[in-house]
Amino acid sequence: MTKLELIRLVGDVLTEIDTAIGSMLPSDPHQQELQDLRILLDDRQRQLSRQIFDENTATFQSAAEQLKAINDQIRTTIQQVQRIQDTINNIKRFLDSVTSLMTTVGGLI
């Protein structure tokens, strides 16, 4: 996976979150938590796009594969209302993995 593909992957998760938020009632207690996670992930995506690092290292590739696996889990749960807490937990894991990638591979944040 390249840096550009990784940035697009994060963008895909942002779009999935936007779609889920749009399908929730304003009174849904999970809506605010998803909005907060979306803001954090959007910030990480911007930081990631500015960061310079070697995408050919094993560390980068391993972190990218971990993000892809979590993204796959998000996709299977995000549209299932009864699994919204699983989705939120997966988004938190995805956000933590993006942050970890940025600190491990790029040494920033």
Residue 87 structure tokens: 């989705």
Residue 31 near residue 19, CB atoms below 8 Å:
no
The pLDDT of residue 75: 84
Q: What is the rounded average pLDDT of the residues 80-94?
A: 84
Q: What percent of the chain has pLDDT over 90?
A: 43
State the Cα–Cα distance between residues 99 and 97, nearest whole angstrom: 5
How many of the other CB atoms lie within 10 Å of CB of 32?
Answer: 12
pTM: 0.82
How many of the other CB atoms lie within 10 Å of CB of 109?
Answer: 12
Give me the chain's average pLDDT, please: 88
Comparing 46 with 24, the larger pLDDT belongs to 46
